[in-house]
Structure 1
Amino acid sequence: MKACDVCGKKSIIQKSGAHRYGGGWAMRATKKRKVWEPNLHSVKVTHDGVRKTMRLCTKCLRRVKAEMAKKVAKKVEKPAKGLHFCFNKSIQFF
């Protein structure tokens, strides 16, 4: 069975059977089995120095990408706003 490795989201089985214009047979019709699958993606993830392939649902994949973006943003230092240095070493404010 397909399932997300992080949150455990898995397939759902639905049975539908009511027919339109069925008259007295509308609710006694044969039940059809429908399987709803989660939207899974195979992703290579590095965790504690070990690289492995995981199956993640779209919601968990978005969460992982957002956490990675936050880590990268912390590493990159942003220049101070409003201060620009020129070649003649004078400070200009814009």
Structure 2
Amino acid sequence: MARKCDVCGKGKATGNKVSFSNRHNKRTWRPNLRRVKAIVDGSPKKIRVCTRCLRSGKVERAL
């Protein structure tokens, strides 16, 4: 299971957690994914979509 949006491809991002004393530790940011039933190629299908794509209307929900 890839933590990746099926619409825009947004995935895990990496960087540093920086403390008050300026120590650097590796950390990751994961996309806010939701499993929704959407219309894909004319038929309903369950896909993983980030909330940014849901809000912007890039996904047609199947109710």
Q: Is the shorter-chain TM-score for this pair beyond 0.5, marking a shared fold? A: yes
In structure 2, the CA distance between the partners of 1:46 and 1:34, relative to structure 1 (3 Å rule), is: same
Please list every run of at least 4 consecutive aligned residues from structure 1 whose deviation after the TM superposition is greater than 3 angstroms. 16-19
Show the 5 A alignment for 1:1-94: 1-16=2-17, 20=21, 29=23, 31-62=24-55, 63-64=57-58
The structure whose residues are more often strand, as a share, is 2
Bigger Rg over Cα: 1
SS in structure 1 of the partner of residue 11 of structure 2: coil
SS in structure 1 of the partner of residue 26 of structure 2: strand
- CA distance in 1 between counterparts of 2:25 and 2:15 reads 8
Give the % identical residues. Answer: 37
SS in structure 1 of the partner of residue 54 of structure 2: helix
The structure whose residues are more often helix, as a share, is 1
The higher relative CO (CA closer than 8 Å, separation ≥ 6) is in 2
- CA distance in 2 between counterparts of 1:19 and 1:47 reads 47
SS in structure 2 of the partner of residue 51 of structure 1: strand
What CA RMSD, in Å, does the superposition of the two structures yield over aligned residues?
2.5
- TM-score, length of structure 1 as denominator length: 0.49
In the alignment, structure 1 segments of 5+ residues that lack a partner are 21-25, 69-94
